[in-house]
Structure 1
Amino acid sequence: MPYKFKSRATADLIMLDANARTLLEIMGKSPDDAQGIITVAQIPAAIAALEAAAAEEAARRNGQSNAQPEGDEQDEDADPVSHDSVALAKRIVPLVDMLRRSAAEGKDVTW
């Protein structure tokens, strides 16, 4: 089931189930709730949590790519973080934009 994030400050944001559930968990929200709200007061903490998780993932990705000695071929299936996957830092951009614009206009975000 896709999630639809809504705010009176922005257009709707539709996200696939797995991606939305991950982001909701990062923000401390229950993805099991069919409906929920991120209040204006909760938005700064939600943005900080998303950005911290993205920075952590980026550090983990960089650490894995730097840990491989030169000349050794790495098995692509052995890497738990695929270099072809979309980084969390890119995946959070539309939601963080929605949260920032909603906070600026004093509007809650619901799903």
Structure 2
Amino acid sequence: MLFKFKSKVAGDLIMLEPNGRRVLEIIGKDPSQAGIILPAQMSAALSALEKAIQAEDEAIEKAKRNANNRDTDISDVDCVTPSASQAIPLRQRSLPFVELLKKCLKADVEIVWGV
């Protein structure tokens, strides 16, 4: 399944289901149905994404430090996602969505998906 995010000020943003679902859950939206992000909700959505990105970055750094201290591979560390050494971080996966949010917030235009 794909998520297609649409707005009047930017091209469609298409995300694979796991990534789109994660982003929507982080910002407090129900990914199981069509929805809308209003301009009034975008600042909070950006803040939630920034906090999640920061938390993941810190967890990855902690895992790297622990792996270096124990002289083990980062993939052996349980405090991060299972294949953290090879996973693409939230920071990178969510960047197009963050940019879309910022653009729509500036233009005072909503984002919709599933319609």
If the length of structure 1 is used for normalisation, what is the TM-score?
0.91
String of CA shifts for 1:32-86, please: whole Å, max 9, x gaps: 11x100000000000110111000000000000001245723373x343522111
Aligned to 2:37: 38
- Contact 1:10–1:98 (8 Å) recurs in 2: yes
Question: Are residues 71 and 106 of structure 1, via their aligned partners in 2, closer, same or farther at CA, if it must alter by over 3 Å?
Answer: closer
Structure 1 segment 41-80 matched on structure 2, within 5 A:
41-70=40-69, 72-74=71-73, 76=75, 78-79=76-77, 80=82
Query: Residue 11 of structure 2 aligns to a residue in which SS?
Result: coil
SS in 2 for 1:30: coil
Q: Which residue of 2 aligns with 1:90?
A: 92
**Number of aligned pairs?**
109
Runs of at least 4 residues off by over 3 Å:
none
**Is residue 52 of structure 2 the alignment partner of residue 26 of structure 1?**
no
Unaligned runs of 5+ in 2: none
Cα distance in structure 1, aligned partners of 2:110 and 2:100: 10
Q: How far, CA to CA, are the matches of 2:53 and 2:7 in structure 1?
A: 23
Instruction: Name 1:103's counterpart in structure 2.
Output: 105
| 2:9–2:109 contact (8 Å) kept in structure 1 | yes
RMSD: 1.5
Instruction: Give the Cα–Cα distance (whole angstroms) in 2 for the partners of residues 104 and 42 of structure 1.
Output: 13
Equivalent-residue separation in structure 1 for 2:89 and 2:105 (angstroms): 25
Structure 2 CA distance, aligned partners of 1:57 and 1:49? 12
Pair 1:74–1:14, CA change in 2 (3 A): same
Instruction: Say if 1:75 and 1:51 are closer, same or farther in 2 by CA, change over 3 A.
Output: closer
- Other structure's SS at 1:63 match: helix
Distance apart, 1:2 and its partner CA: 0.2
